[in-house]
Structure 1
Amino acid sequence: MSDAVPVEGFVSDGYDRVREVFQDLLRDGRETGAGVSVWRDGREVVRLSGGWVDAARHHPWRADTLVQPYSLSKSFVTLAALVVVRDGALALDEPISRYWPAYGVGGKERTTLRQVLTHRAGQPRFPAEAAGLDLLDDAGLRESLARAAPEYVPGTSLGEHALTYGHLVDGILRAGAGTTLGEVFNERVRPALGLDAWFGVPDDALERVADLEYADPEWPSQLHAAPWLRIPDGTLDVERANSRSWRQAVFGAVNLHTTATAMARFFSELTSEDGPVRALLGPQLHADLLASQVTDFDEVFGTRITWTLGFVRDRGKIAKGGIGGSAAWWSLKHRHGCAYLTRRLDDHSRAAAIAAALDDDLTVVGED
């Protein structure tokens, strides 16, 4: 491997193949900055950091480097919603209009929180009327969703709510519980789970954030999900994504900033009956979080998929990926939690290669 590509970290016995694959990705130029972590039996058995955090290639990726993993963020929006359900302020199967009357129009009168969390609320994208809104106009974007008619009768079809997921949950939390997505996550979910993860990166952590870059300048227009990502303008603009204002805002569907170690550890504890996720949610909601809720053709993914309340699930894994190539998963076969987080926006072949080195299959984790 070229000495010009920085790599640091460790692999425990039996995980040498993961290091080899990661080094190959960096050497071949398929990766320019990423972190890999694997947790098993309560300890980190792989921690690898490679490449750079910046386009100028001055600063190497470190174990504590934060990066935006796009839709992996949605799983933590789900957790924030379920914390408030456990409090009794919301219910999964009550009409949202009970809490948010302005939302209950145009065919959304009976839409439920469960339908939102399982991507069946009929609002997989922002309406055309939101096209002129700024990316960070939270109130305007929420209100556009409240006014809009759904694209299909809620509960009758499936399509990942690619950009709208966080704004829908935030609107429900504001109306039904007098709080916000950012407050619930940062004040309750993040501390309870011990996560190095942020909706709204604090000042003292901004220097740890990696800059995003395109593998190909045409990448945004080539995505299967492109039609669902056009409004508001700028969600795939790396100059905007790399700005301080974006990193310190809350755009729940996509802009969590976190580390590979944090995500792998989270997934390694996800199913544990004495773990922090179950302690946070209680036994019933923990079971609901992990259980298959719907299996159907997902229009945004472009394939048939099974959703839990916050994850993709199949016989081999419970997982979530993000457009651009980041992914994290719990292997039902091997009982390990894994994460591959990248700043180089491309397909999921790099994460899939790491998964294959672990004898895992990452089929269907992203949005492209």
Structure 2
Amino acid sequence: MGTEVVGHIQPGFEAVRDAFRAGFEETDGWGAALSIWQDGEEVVHLHGGSADPRQHKPWTDETAAVVFSCTKGLMAIIAAQLVQEGKLDYQQKVAHYWPEFDAHGKANITVAEALSHRAGLSAPRQPWSFEDLLDWSKPVNALAEQEPLWPPGSGHAYHAITHGWLVGEILHRASGTRVRDLVQQRLAQPLNADLWVGLPEDKQDRVAHIGCSQALYDLWDAEAAKDSPEQPYWPYRAMTLGNALPAALVTDTEGFNDPRLQAVEAPGAGGIATAQALASIWSAVVTPTQGVRLLQDDTLSVATEVMSQGPQIYPAPGPYPAWGRGFQLDSEVRRYLSSDSFGHDGAGGQVTFADPERRLGFAFVTNWMYGEGDPRATRIIQALKEMF
């Protein structure tokens, strides 16, 4: 007997529903949710499976998931809002807003370079601990003091976790408001969206427990073998931050399954939200949604210009992702609905994006970290693409 899928769709989206349902064939016993908004209205609202198989807890409309790097896309939206309001300038130096950042060769790094993974701070030179992540000032001060791993601006490498504190502190300094409050004031509250970067204690029971495939653990064990104190393997340390996180980002009780980390601001990977919340936000980026439009077209045209693409600083086989000013762009690595779509995906299969031509917001979230070759969101996007 297959997993029951609950929810509703508008007529014409049957193939999308079938593609969502097919995902449970690969992840039986775990959960997921899908929301799609078009022209400001929700046209797909589905969920199924388990929010916590250990407790036989079903996924419901109230279930929220850790959405990992989808959080970076939300930071990019807020950055673009501040640019739109004249409070932030993509071409301005980071140190203009954050004077302490002007150290060890970082004086000329621009906001745009920081957003697009070009700052040379993808991993800490000195290992961080888990406890460091629970105090905003510690990672922020460490990044301000660190010498870049490569000449800033000369190339790019994915700032998997450090991106959150790097960009988050820029937003904090430019606005005078801490990240958890920026998220609430600018994204969650206007759309009545269940979204948090820094989860309130009274929402803890809504968060899905994250599971991880053995294949993903094996992959990161192989990456760990490349790292040593004498010869750091920086892509691996970009995930672990030295000693702070498991390479797969979770174990049964550690990493982003730890309520202590869910409760603090970790805006590179720590956002927690429902699919409906995220899809409504991405919808509002490109079209009025519940009376809200978050960004204007001229702002988006600048924010989604290609900043980083192709081979990265640390050699790895292609295909390669592409980024604008914080936004992940359509590429061979992550195909969205069209070449004009933009958003951000996240570890374990999470995918969020907006498509301006079709005035559409999309969010797929799950608590099963499938690993390389995950077909779930890709299958849904392909079914959606075939409708247009």
Give a deviation string over 1:61-96, Cα, whole Å, max 9, x none. 112311011100001122333444445443222222
Q: Is the 8 A contact 2:73 2:343 kept in 1?
A: no
Q: Distance in 1 between matches of 2:87 and 2:380?
A: 41
> What is the one-letter code of the residue matched to 2:245?
G
CA-CA distance at 1:359 after TM superposition: 2.8
Match of 1:265 among 244, 256, 280: 280
User: What is residue 229 of structure 1 aligned with on the other side?
Assistant: 239
Match of 2:303 among 289, 293, 297: 289
Comparing 125-134 with 313-322, which one deviates more in the overlay?
A: 125-134
SS of the residue corresponding to residue 321 of structure 2 reads: strand
TM-score by length of 2: 0.82
CA-CA distance at 1:319 after TM superposition: 3.0
SS of the residue corresponding to residue 320 of structure 1 reads: strand
User: What is residue 325 of structure 1 aligned with on the other side?
Assistant: 349
Q: Is the 8 A contact 2:350 2:366 kept in 1?
A: yes
Alignment RMSD (CA, Å) = 2.9
User: What is residue 63 of structure 1 aligned with on the other side?
Assistant: 61
Give a deviation string over 1:103-152, Cα, whole Å, max 9, x none. 11111011111111111111122222435863323212111111111122
> What is the one-letter code of the residue matched to 1:355?
I
CA-CA distance at 1:357 after TM superposition: 2.1
Comparing 191-200 with 339-348, which one deviates more in the overlay?
A: 191-200
Q: Distance in 2 between matches of 1:31 and 1:230?
A: 28
User: What is residue 328 of structure 2 aligned with on the other side?
Assistant: 312
The correspondence of residues 157-176 of structure 1 with structure 2, limited to 5 A, is 157-176=155-174
Q: Distance in 2 between matches of 1:329 and 1:31?
A: 26
Q: Is the 8 A contact 2:351 2:365 kept in 1?
A: yes
The correspondence of residues 128-147 of structure 1 with structure 2, limited to 5 A, is 128-130=126-128, 134-147=132-145
Q: Is the 8 A contact 1:264 1:337 kept in 2?
A: yes
User: What is residue 202 of structure 1 aligned with on the other side?
Assistant: 200
Q: Distance in 1 between matches of 2:357 and 2:86?
A: 35
The correspondence of residues 27-38 of structure 1 with structure 2, limited to 5 A, is 27-29=25-27, 32-38=30-36
**How has the CA–CA distance of structure 1 residues 185 and 336 changed in structure 2, closer, same or farther, with 3 Å as cutoff?**
closer
SS of the residue corresponding to residue 26 of structure 1 reads: helix
User: What is residue 340 of structure 1 aligned with on the other side?
Assistant: 364
> What is the one-letter code of the residue matched to 2:189?
P
> What is the one-letter code of the residue matched to 1:256?
G
User: What is residue 92 of structure 1 aligned with on the other side?
Assistant: 90
SS of the residue corresponding to residue 74 of structure 1 reads: helix
Q: Distance in 2 between matches of 1:132 and 1:66?
A: 23
TM-score by length of 1: 0.86
1:148 aligns with 2:146: yes
Q: Among the aligned pairs, what percent are the same residue?
A: 27
> What is the one-letter code of the residue matched to 1:234?
L
User: What is residue 228 of structure 2 aligned with on the other side?
Assistant: none
Q: Distance in 1 between matches of 2:291 and 2:150?
A: 33
Q: Distance in 1 between matches of 2:381 and 2:222?
A: 22
CA-CA distance at 1:237 after TM superposition: 2.6
Q: Distance in 2 between matches of 1:62 and 1:139?
A: 36
SS of the residue corresponding to residue 128 of structure 1 reads: coil
SS of the residue corresponding to residue 91 of structure 1 reads: coil
**How has the CA–CA distance of structure 1 residues 335 and 83 changed in structure 2, closer, same or farther, with 3 Å as cutoff?**
closer
CA-CA distance at 1:222 after TM superposition: 5.8
1:252 aligns with 2:305: no
User: What is residue 46 of structure 2 aligned with on the other side?
Assistant: 48
**How has the CA–CA distance of structure 1 residues 178 and 47 changed in structure 2, closer, same or farther, with 3 Å as cutoff?**
closer
Aligned residues: 358
> What is the one-letter code of the residue matched to 1:267?
W
Structure 1: gaps (5+ residues): 361-368
